[in-house]
Amino acid sequence: MTSAPITPSRTASPVAAPYAVPRVAPQRRWRPALVWLAVALVAAGGLIAAAVLRKVGTTAEYLAVNSAVEAGSAIDRSDLRTVRITVDPALKPIRASAANEVVGKFAAVGLVSGTLLTRAQLTETAVPKQGEQLVGVSLPQERMPAERVKAGARVLLVVTADDGPVSSQQQPTATPISIKATVVDVRAGAKEGTTLLNVAVPDREGPLIASRAAAGQIVVALTTGS
């Protein structure tokens, strides 16, 4: 029995693995400006947060008008309500704790529901005062001064001879009747383009002003110091 010749095997030489070159992370440059910017942003955020918290924490309770009150009317407790708000320093609303001081006083002007109450809107005396009457006068724009008439203004109610604007070419036959009055309240009239003035006049002049106002024979003039 013959055996096949044995061929010596050739040992394969090992294949060298690729050499991994280590990567070195680039060194970051120190930038102080960016650091200070970050610090400033963090500080600004903290200041803003503190301001917001301070503002929220300074809310307080103030008096507001719960139901409309006519000028000259006494203020009842039911006419008031309490609201919690943060008030602008320019405003001067009345604190809720002073409600007892407000009840019983009189509205110097018409009070609108939902508005804050200020001491300038109150008066110690009834409107109209003793010896006066409160008369409503509805006027078109041409029978009032170009300057807006405000509550508290002192005016002259001039009685004209007809129901139209006084012409500069007309020569008056007599000195027109003029009556001193105080404007208590100003609001938009029922007719478009008209203004309603509630005015306080002496008792003896009330009927005359009321009748002439109804006939459209009243012109308003502002006096010195109005």
Whether pLDDT at 25 is above 70: no
Mean pLDDT for the stretch of residues 90-99: 90
Burial class (CB in 10 A: 0-12, 13-18, 19+), 143: buried
How does pLDDT run across 149-158, given as a tens digit for each residue?
888 889 999 9
Higher pLDDT, 5 or 140: 140
| CA dist., res. 126 & res. 105, Å (int) | 8
| CA dist., res. 195 & res. 207, Å (int) | 20
Whether pLDDT at 164 is above 70: no
Predicted confidence band at 169 (pLDDT cuts at 50, 70, 90)?
very low
How does pLDDT run across 37-52, given as a tens digit for each residue?
777 888 888 778 766 6
The encoded tokens of residue 29 equal 């440059």
| CA dist., res. 185 & res. 109, Å (int) | 5
| pTM score over 0.75 | no
Residues written for the chain: 226
Mean pLDDT for the stretch of residues 179-196: 89
| CA dist., res. 63 & res. 83, Å (int) | 6
Residues with Cβ within 8 Å of residue 61, at least 6 apart in sequence: 82, 83, 84, 95, 96, 97
**pLDDT for the residue 167:** 45
**pLDDT for the residue 211:** 93
Predicted confidence band at 185 (pLDDT cuts at 50, 70, 90)?
confident
Q: Which residue ranges form the domains of the chain, and what is each CATH number?
A: 61-123 (3.90.1210.10), 132-222 (2.40.30)
Which amino acid is present at 221? A
**pLDDT for the residue 14:** 57
Predicted confidence band at 91 (pLDDT cuts at 50, 70, 90)?
confident
Give strand pairing partners of 122. Answer: 107
Predicted confidence band at 217 (pLDDT cuts at 50, 70, 90)?
very high
Whether pLDDT at 76 is above 90: yes
**pLDDT for the residue 53:** 60
Predicted confidence band at 220 (pLDDT cuts at 50, 70, 90)?
very high
